[in-house]
Amino acid sequence: MYDEYMTRVYVADASTEERSALRLTLLDLNMEVVGEAADWMTALAQAPILRTDMLLIDWSMLPRTMQGTVLESLRRACPDPLVIVLISPLDARQQAALSSGADAFISKDETPERVAERLRSVAASAGVMGANFQMIQRRIQ
């Protein structure tokens, strides 16, 4: 059965390989990648116009001098989507990402299975998953 509603995701990561891996993981989760960016300015320009449910943002691509405020800018431009910050490795940046406005974080060092698990968990808690995604999640559990 076709699910008319798929979770719409925007991926912002400086690494082409990381974006490709995330795209495959998201497709496996029946999530639609509606846009991608390799730099912060492109992400900030594109994400607000794409009506996304979830934003995956690589913490290391945020301007270093303004990491705390750039997510605030993103939240003003895109108030509705979940903001998930991708970080590697886990350290004090985890707390900085969450206190800057991220809904969750995912370490870029995680296995694809763990990334999928975290994405499912965050999306489920926010209610941004379509019926097919929820059915797949129940089968996996």
Question: Residue 102 is part of a domain; what is its CATH number?
Answer: 3.40.50.2300
Report yes or no on 2 lying in a domain. Answer: no
Q: How many domains does the chain have?
A: 1
Residues 37 and 43 sit within 8 Å (Cβ to Cβ): yes
What is d(CA 72, CA 129) in angstroms, rounded to the nearest whole number?
25
Write the pLDDT tens digit of every residue in 71-127. 888 888 888 899 998 876 555 566 667 667 777 778 777 888 888 888 888 888 766
Write the pLDDT tens digit of every residue in 117-135. 888 888 887 665 554 444 4
User: What pLDDT was estimated at residue 71?
Assistant: 81
Neighbours of 55 (CB within 10 A): 26
pTM of model > 0.85: no
Whether residue 5 is predicted with pLDDT greater than 90 in this model: the reply is: no
- Give the domain extent around 13: 7-140
Output 94 or 25, whichever has higher pLDDT. Answer: 25
